[in-house]
Structure 1
Amino acid sequence: MGELGTTISNKRGINKVKESLWTKPFVLLILSNLFLFLSLEMLLPTLPMFAANKGGSDAEIGLIIGLFTFSAVLLRPFVGMASDKFGKKLLLLVGVAICLIGTASYYAAVTITMMLMLRIVHGVGFGISTTLYGTVASDIIPASRRGEGMGFFGTGNAIAISLGPFLGIWLMEEFGFSVLFIVGACILLIAMVCTAFVKGDTKEERAKAQIASATETSFMLRFIEPKALMPSLLGLLVGLSLGGVISFITLFGKETGVQNIGFFFLVLAISEFLIRFISGRIFDSKGRFWVLFPAAISCIVGCIILYMTKSTGTLLLAAVFYGAGFGAIFPGLQAWVIDRVEPQRRGVATATFYNAFDIGIGSGAMLLGLVATWSNYATMYLVSSLFFVIYLVVYFVYEKQLKQAGLAEIVKRS
């Protein structure tokens, strides 16, 4: 691929040169991100079983799962400032290395207390890595193709969601937990190697970022990016729904008697992967509305189909709609976050967005779990669609206010 290609027209009618997207650093970063999430997804269905074998109670197993997200959320606001000082690439390598150490050390945990401590360490590494993967990717992707680029970058997550749980369970059943943790650590080692060949930020870029951070008078603004709050609020609402969808689908299958429930994740990931070939280009050419609005509708349809599901075919149809919706929304919101901030604020903005999304997933699992307790899992999925209804209301109000502000500015100038 050449560095320059044909010209394209953006939504404002301005001709821009179509810059190269598929560069070596971009491909390596996609692979590294894929391997990080593959290692993580392998542990999602297997680590609770390992904890149970160590004598962990249901409450302790829940704490093991929750502490991971909690430690990542607490650390992320500090990642932006740390990357300004030490560099994004170096800190990203440190984050992946911490994940590697945490994964390899699980088998050495002989007590639940040790597992809890390792889970906190693993969460720290995950918080660093996920923040900086998105930030480094946004630095590499040409601004004119950011929606498309962030969509393709996120395909690693989709592939990991479909392959990780199956691979993890297979390794656990065939070879035991020791091999599971060793393979997970080796996958993270490959992620580190891929990251090592990605070009890091220069001293000049770090110096500019440090100056911008030092001149920031507000303590809060050093940890939260205000310009990222609207996309982050929408990400929170998406996470609230997603937390219930992925957490209770197995129990939903048992409740309804639907067979082959595991294929839901496979179809979900395939749908999420395929939609990104379309949604990113639409985001770049037509604007965010033409991605964020129809994608939310698709998720609502998916939730309603889940509510009505009585067979495997209906279940997989729900996965198609929900996967397509989420696969378009998540990279679209990420691209919107990056578009709104200056380059030196991308780390803080990415941390703000991911924290909102992760808080949504954790809170959604708890809230919708209560709904399922009071009613059933089918009703819970119908209720989960309401988060996307709120999403649409918030988004429409925001766009309307933005349009009115723009018209007022035009009148003022005329």
Structure 2
Amino acid sequence: MEEEYNEKEEEITHNLLSRDFILLLFLNFIMFMGFQILMPVLPTYARYLGGSESKVGFIVGIFSFSAILIRPFIGRALDIFGRKRIFIIGFLAFSLFSLSYMAASTVLFLLFLRFFHGFCWGTTSTTANTVASDIIPYKRLGEGMGYFGLASTLAMAIGPALGLYLIQESQYGFKGVFIFSAAAFIIALILSLGIRYPTVKPLSGKKALFERKALKSAVIVSLLTMPYGSVVTFIALYAQEQGIENIGLYFTVYALALMVSRPLFGRLSDRKGFGIAIVPGLLGVMIALFLLSRANTLMLFLLAGIVYGVSFGAAMPALQAMSVQKVPPNRRGAASATYSTGFDFGIGLGSIILGAVAQFVGYSGMYLTGIIPLVLALIIFFIPGERKRESSR
């Protein structure tokens, strides 16, 4: 049952590690485990079914674009109907589609399943981000989003490596990965039942699907995640091409670096403004992509992973906090949807465009090309406009 929300009390108490927030952290970890275990596996599964590099890019891209299509409507539904029931529907649907991959026998059928699976991810992730913005005290929003992201970061350290292990070293193969993903979302559903959801006054009248105040952060995160999509999609194939084994360690060091930088830079952005985290984050990702383009040993891959993790972890909490900082509670669903749409759009577009680029210039040239959108993101951040947090609502 959703409980009464007292925004004034929230500002006074500043209690970040509340019971509901801790429960949400566990939920987010389990949910992202179910998601991340699929990320490096599905490109390999698509290749197993006979797909080329460009088709592999579409496998990832179509998932992101279907999530983009649903997010604005989910954001509005969250602001009208509340958070809990949408969480439950999303978790159930995601589990069913994870299991359905076992029935895929062609790349075309896999594309079909990925498209509808993206609807489910758009639903659950948008809801989780919205609930986090409800629960986290406003004056600790950057720090709270940093900790909230730690759950997904820890899953990123374990999920991809576990997925690659299951298909390469264990007897369970692809089937084991799909069952694990489905089970994770069922567990997340169970955890969601224990959260005391704030009741937010429903929207009245017609409101835009997208929140204008979140657009700048959405554009920047879209440009930031364009090369990230290509890294996640093609790094296993890139390493295989160069004869490098144990590339799953890349995800581990990347995630560990994220775990260190997220709360640190989240706290800094609360105190010093968003630029202290976003600018070095964008510059650091550029350096990481350059290192990846030159990587021909496991050590270089791991160094690139550390730099990428620190930099990505610096920018993300600040951008996420920036997207909801001036938004009233009954527009947080729309703001979270706007931001998450930018995130997914970047991953989807980056996977498709850079996947096509890889066919002409190879993986090394692809990662160098990925620096271009980051330069654009840096320029957009410095376009005149208010970037610092307000001291009060």
TM-score range, shorter chain: 0.7 to 0.9
Match of 1:91 in 2: 86
In the TM superposition, 1:50-69 aligns within 5 A as: 50=45, 55=49, 57-58=51-52, 63-69=58-64
The one of 321, 324, 336 aligned to 2:307: 321
Do structure 1's residue 273 and structure 2's residue 266 form an aligned pair?
A: no
Deviations 1:203-235 (A, max 9, x none): xx2xx3322xx154xxxx2x1111111111101
Match of 1:344 in 2: 330
Decide which structure has the larger Cα Rg and report it.
1
Contact preservation (8 Å) 1:253, 1:259: yes
Deviations 1:54-100 (A, max 9, x none): x5544766554443222211111101222233211211121111111
Match of 2:202 in 1: 209
Match of 1:193 in 2: 190
Q: 1:273 to 1:86 in 2, by over 3 A?
A: same
SS at match of 2:20: helix
Deviations 1:269-325 (A, max 9, x none): 110111123111101111111111111122122122223333322221111111111
Match of 1:307 in 2: 293
The code of the aligned residue for 2:71 comes to: R
The code of the aligned residue for 2:137 comes to: P
The code of the aligned residue for 1:272 comes to: L
Do structure 1's residue 32 and structure 2's residue 27 form an aligned pair?
A: yes
CA shift, 1:50, in A, is 4.8
Match of 1:73 in 2: 68
Q: 1:189 to 1:370 in 2, by over 3 A?
A: closer
Point out where structure 2 has 5 or more consecutive residues left out of the alignment: 1-10, 388-393
Match of 2:40 in 1: 45
With normalisation by structure 1, the TM-score equals 0.83
Do structure 1's residue 297 and structure 2's residue 283 form an aligned pair?
A: yes
Match of 2:4 in 1: none
Q: 1:118 to 1:368 in 2, by over 3 A?
A: closer
The one of 178, 182, 206 aligned to 1:181: 178
Contact preservation (8 Å) 2:126, 2:340: yes
Match of 1:331 in 2: 317
Distance 1:193 1:347 in 2: 22
Distance 2:26 2:370 in 1: 32
Deviations 1:21-41 (A, max 9, x none): 111111111111111111122
Q: 1:362 to 1:89 in 2, by over 3 A?
A: same
Contact preservation (8 Å) 1:98, 1:121: no
Contact preservation (8 Å) 2:289, 2:368: yes
Distance 1:259 1:382 in 2: 23
Q: 1:265 to 1:345 in 2, by over 3 A?
A: same
CA shift, 1:343, in A, is 1.4
The code of the aligned residue for 2:335 comes to: A
With normalisation by structure 2, the TM-score equals 0.87
Quick check: 250-259 or 223-232, which moved more?
250-259
The code of the aligned residue for 1:196 comes to: L
Contact preservation (8 Å) 1:89, 1:199: no
The code of the aligned residue for 2:211 comes to: E
Q: 1:311 to 1:108 in 2, by over 3 A?
A: closer
Match of 1:3 in 2: none
Distance 2:129 2:225 in 1: 17
Match of 1:5 in 2: none
Do structure 1's residue 240 and structure 2's residue 235 form an aligned pair?
A: no
Between the aligned residues of both structures, percent identity stands at: 36
Distance 2:69 2:36 in 1: 21
Distance 1:60 1:312 in 2: 27
Contact preservation (8 Å) 1:259, 1:311: no
In the TM superposition, 1:162-173 aligns within 5 A as: 162-172=157-167, 173=170
